[in-house]
Amino acid sequence: MFREVELPEKLLQDQVPYAGEEVVREIRRLAQGMENLSVLHVNSTSYGGGVAELLYTIVPLTRDAGLDARWYVMDNVPTEFFEVTKKIHNSLQGAETPLTDNEWKLYEDVNMKLAEGFPPGPWDVVILHDPQPLATLAFLDNIPASQRPTVGRWFWRCHIDLSTPLQSTWQRLAGHVNRFDGAIFTSRKYAQEEVKIPVIEITPSIDPTSPKNAPIPDEEGRKIIASFGIDPERPLMVQVSRFDPWKDPFGVVDAYSMLKVKRPNLQLAMVGSIAHDDPEGVELLRKLKESAHQDHDIHVLSNEDGVGAPEVAAFQQLADVVVQKSIREGFGLTITEAMWKMRPVVAGAATGCKLQITDGVDGYIINTTQECSDRVDEILENPDLASRLGRAARETVRGKFLSTGHVANYLRLFDVSK
């Protein structure tokens, strides 16, 4: 039921040009005394979505700090399970999508099998990410003590905006959460009062050395976006995200359509990936492509169209404006990526977006489709404004949202957990 993810070597020293020597020295200091501490991260998929991207960097950098860090993903899990956990995800963000008794049974049956096949360890620290494996800890109680993994401390890492959950779903899961030794949230605002265990706040991050965030020569970037039918000489509005209703993709199209009347040369690119644990995204992508079919200046692109990390980088780097019109957002890694590339970003008023952007300083926060259209128009009209927002955005990311800071926060947590 689990598979270890093979990871490349990543070195803290390579982060120095971006984060600074002092930050890396602090990580080395924090790691003293934790040599070979065994740390296991568990999530649902190794591809698609922010959690996989985070672990792809955080785990190797933790290893370079001297810890024995591993990453396992769920394997041979039925597709129906991910349909259920997507309903859980949506309802935890406020959607009226309660689960049936049969759906809860499937969720618990899979978690029971996960408990039976849990990596044996021993582990000093185990971190289970998001709702998919959350109930595993409860079912370990049913495993004979001699067959249970030896674990020092258990943490649940919630990447979801849990500020307004559907209560029937949350109440079913809250008891599972409280079995852990601590819960890690992107913001303490997400921790509901039912969480009785210690709450730790750790924000996500981006890796400035990854192919998605490394600078691309403009000429090469122009060729990349031109290969998808984009005219590099005309203004370009971009949203990069999973194909998820909470990202409000149709609201982005509406904002673009409002602007198109005034700016007939404007182009829109909606770029994303289909995650292995998100069957809902396939259908949303189909509907989005269908609705955009009659406007040749709307480009809906995914990994199925050949979009990978370099292509995403090119779209973000060459966008005149990046939009992230999220209704709910635990934390928008694509916002941080665009900010790092010094792009002006217009984002929805979701809590996660407001954690990243200070309105009017390093981007804009909007509440409506009309506001989104107006702010994009303002940026397109004023290149100096775009440059000012972009420069401030990069410094915000440098100070708050790079991988090195993320690793340091985990090390502080592990030190307490020893």
- On the 0-12 / 13-18 / 19+ scale of CB atoms within 10 A, 357 is buried
What residue type is assigned to position 116 of the chain? E
CATH code of the domain in which 320 resides: 3.40.50.2000
- Is residue 213 situated within a structural domain? no
Looking at the fold, whether 279 and 143 belong to one and the same domain comes out as no
Structural domain harbouring 365: 218-400
Looking at the fold, whether 119 and 241 belong to one and the same domain comes out as no
Across 150-159, 242-251, 388-397, least confident range: 242-251
Looking at the fold, whether 356 and 236 belong to one and the same domain comes out as yes
Give per-residue pLDDT as tens, 356-386: 999 999 999 999 999 999 999 999 999 999 9
- Is residue 212 situated within a structural domain? no
Please report the pLDDT score of residue 275 as a whole number. Answer: 66
Looking at the fold, whether 359 and 265 belong to one and the same domain comes out as yes
Domain tally for the chain?
2
d(CA 156, CA 185): 9
Looking at the fold, whether 249 and 307 belong to one and the same domain comes out as yes
Looking at the fold, whether 396 and 413 belong to one and the same domain comes out as no
- Is residue 335 situated within a structural domain? yes
Task: Write down the residue that tokens 């691309």 correspond to.
Answer: 216
- Is residue 126 situated within a structural domain? yes
Q: Rg of the chain over CA atoms, in angstroms?
A: 21
- Is residue 257 situated within a structural domain? yes
Please report the pLDDT score of residue 49 as a whole number. Answer: 75
d(CA 200, CA 179): 15
Transcribe 180-221 into DSSP letters: SSEEEESSGGG--TT--S-EEE----B-TTSTTTS---HHHH
- Is residue 240 situated within a structural domain? yes
Looking at the fold, whether 406 and 298 belong to one and the same domain comes out as no
Mean pLDDT of all residues in 250-276: 93
3-class DSSP assignment, residue 126: strand
- Is residue 29 situated within a structural domain? yes
Residue 50 has pLDDT above 90, yes or no: no
Please report the pLDDT score of residue 281 as a whole number. Answer: 82
Give per-residue pLDDT as tens, 143-182: 998 889 999 999 999 999 898 999 999 999 999 999 999 9
Looking at the fold, whether 163 and 286 belong to one and the same domain comes out as no
Q: Are 394 and 387 in contact (CB under 8 A)?
A: no
Looking at the fold, whether 181 and 191 belong to one and the same domain comes out as yes
Give per-residue pLDDT as tens, 182-204: 999 999 999 999 999 999 999 99
Neighbours of 284 (CB within 10 A): 19
Neighbours of 282 (CB within 10 A): 13
Q: How confident is the model at residue 277 (pLDDT cuts 50, 70, 90)?
A: low
- Is residue 235 situated within a structural domain? yes
Residue 42 has pLDDT above 90, yes or no: yes
Please report the pLDDT score of residue 382 as a whole number. Answer: 98
Task: Write down the residue that tokens 């409280």 correspond to.
Answer: 178
Closest by CA position to 101, among listed 90, 113, 93, 109: 109
Looking at the fold, whether 225 and 294 belong to one and the same domain comes out as yes
The Cα-based distances of 175 to 142, 156, 170 in angstroms read: 16, 12, 9
Residue 48 has pLDDT above 80, yes or no: no
Looking at the fold, whether 362 and 259 belong to one and the same domain comes out as yes
Mean pLDDT of the chain: 94
Looking at the fold, whether 283 and 320 belong to one and the same domain comes out as yes
Residue 416 has pLDDT above 80, yes or no: no
Q: How confident is the model at residue 276 (pLDDT cuts 50, 70, 90)?
A: low
The Cα-based distances of 115 to 112, 258, 362 in angstroms read: 5, 51, 45
